[in-house]
């Protein structure tokens, strides 16, 4: 799929009356799996990027170029829209502009810019802090100004519910909505009452992450939630599977006795081996099988 087509698909989802659970993806093969299984959209999280690229925790040590490179690898093969967690835009409002430029070129369908002060500031508490509303607005306006493809979806993101409570969340929802962003990405909205208040405060499509209200997707959809994250279990499952396989081999299990390995047919489909075989016939003079 082209960047234009995945961005159009994401916009169609946001304009619908449905709420979907996204796939959590972190590399080209995981993006291929998500597409094969029929997910409507995928999420590329900052934490999964840190695990994949750095093998480290989510402490905002990843650079924009590293994040954009991994996003490019996934978007090159993805057959569904990918939303990227662009953290705080990797700096101030001017850095946020640069973030938009790089992820737009990577082929990302949508991304969020958050108002969390990152990296965590020096001090004994290490508690999460938020930028002022004015700075949050400035970052979003800068991000929108950097967008050259109107199809790219930009979400304003806030964790205010987890930090300052509902009143501050509503203030930020109202102000961020007025910047012209395409939707709002909210972390820690865990009650239906809070979600209802947020839904009344703006008319934009919503994305939820973190603790979410204990209701079904139909109920979420009525409050204009279009995407509800369920976490990043995919990479945790992959890490456990790798660990178990290596441990078994290290302890003497014969390769033929291993269980839970991807079949040759699945790998052939995910790697598009048939296409490469045909290209070898067409361009390398190989004989057709």
Q: Is residue 58 part of a domain?
A: yes
pLDDT of residue 274: 96
126 pLDDT more than 90: no
* Domain match, 162 and 218 both: yes
State whether 276 and 232 are in the same domain. no
For residues 217-246, average pLDDT = 98
163: which 2 tokens? 């930090």
Residues 26 and 124 in one domain: yes
pLDDT of residue 217: 97
Identify the pLDDT of residue 11.
Answer: 98
Q: Is 277 inside any structural domain? A: yes
Whether 233 shows a pLDDT value over 90: the answer reads yes
For Cα atoms 151, 26, 32, give the angle at the middle one, nearest 5 degrees.
75
Q: What is the pLDDT of residue 1?
A: 85
Q: For 13-26, how does the pLDDT look when each residue is reduced to its tens digit (9 = 90+)? A: 999 999 999 999 99
Confidence (pTM): 0.96
Q: Are residues 182 and 112 in the same domain?
A: yes
Last residue of a domain, which of 237, 254, 272?
237
pLDDT value at residue 288: 84
Find the mean pLDDT for residues 108-116. 98
The answer to whether residues 90 and 25 belong to one domain is yes
Which pLDDT tens digit goes with each residue over 164-193? 999 999 999 999 999 999 999 999 999 999
pLDDT of 77-103, one tens digit each? 999 999 999 999 999 999 999 999 999
Say if residue 240's pLDDT is above 80.
yes
Q: What is the pLDDT of residue 271?
A: 97
Please tell me whether residues 278 and 201 are part of one structural domain: no
In this prediction, residue 68 carries a pLDDT of 98
CB 164 within 8 A of CB 200: no
Q: Does residue 278 share a domain with residue 215? A: no
Q: Does 67 lie in the same domain as 179?
A: yes
Let me know if residue 96 belongs to a domain. Answer: yes
Asked whether residue 36 falls in the same domain as residue 130, the answer is yes
Write out the residue range of the structural domain in which residue 275 sits. Answer: 262-289
Average pLDDT of the residues in 223-228: 98
Domain membership of residue 274 (yes or no) is: yes
% the chain with pLDDT above 90: 96
Domain contains 218: yes
Decide if 256 is inside a domain. no
86 shares its domain with 160: yes
User: 252-283: per-residue pLDDT in tens?
Assistant: 999 999 999 999 999 999 999 999 999 999 99
114, 87 Cβ separation under 8 angstroms: yes
Q: What's the mean per-residue pLDDT of the chain?
A: 97
- Each residue's pLDDT tens digit, 56-70: 999 999 999 999 999
What CATH number does residue 47 fall under? 3.20.20.60
The per-residue b/e assignment along 48-74, b for 16 or more CB within 10 angstroms, e otherwise, is bbbbbbeeeebeeebebeebbebbbeb
Domain assignment of residue 242, yes or no: no
Co-location of 78 and 114 in the same domain = yes
Reported as a pLDDT band with limits 50, 70 and 90, residue 289 is confident
Q: Please check whether residues 36 and 70 belong to one and the same domain.
A: yes
Q: Are 90 and 64 in contact (CB under 8 A)?
A: yes
Number of domains in the chain: 2
Contacts of 28 (CB under 8 A, 6+ apart): 73, 74, 76, 77, 78
Residue 67 covered by a domain: yes
């Amino acid at each position: 799929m082209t960047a234009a087509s995945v961005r159009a698909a994401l916009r169609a989802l946001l304009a619908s009356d449905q709420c979907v659970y996204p796939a959590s993806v972190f590399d080209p093969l995981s993006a291929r799996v998500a597409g094969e299984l029929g997910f409507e959209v995928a999420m590329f999280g900052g934490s999964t990027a840190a695990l994949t690229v750095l093998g480290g925790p989510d402490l905002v040590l990843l650079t924009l170029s590293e994040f954009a490179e991994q996003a490019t690898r996934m978007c090159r093969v993805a057959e569904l829209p990918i939303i990227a967690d662009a953290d705080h835009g990797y700096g101030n409002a001017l850095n946020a502009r640069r973030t938009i430029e790089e992820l737009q070129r990577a082929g990302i369908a949508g991304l969020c810019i958050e108002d969390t002060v990152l990296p965590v500031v020096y001090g004994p508490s290490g508690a999460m802090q938020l930028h002022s509303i004015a700075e949050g607005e400035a970052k979003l306006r800068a991000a929108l100004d950097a967008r050259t493809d109107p199809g790219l979806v930009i979400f304003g993101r806030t964790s205010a519910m987890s930090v300052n409570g509902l009143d501050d969340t509503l203030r930020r929802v109202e102000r961020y909505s007025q910047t012209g962003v395409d939707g709002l990405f909210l972390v820690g909205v865990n009650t239906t009452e809070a979600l209802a208040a947020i839904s009344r405060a703006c008319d934009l499509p919503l994305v939820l992450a973190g603790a979410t209200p204990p209701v079904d997707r139909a109920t979420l959809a009525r409050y204009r939630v279009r995407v509800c994250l369920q976490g990043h279990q995919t990479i945790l499952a992959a890490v456990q599977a790798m660990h178990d396989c290596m441990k078994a081999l290290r302890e003497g299990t014969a390769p033929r006795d291993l269980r839970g390995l991807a079949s040759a047919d699945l790998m052939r489909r995910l790697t598009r081996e048939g296409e490469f075989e045909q290209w070898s016939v067409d361009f390398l003079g190989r004989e057709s099988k």
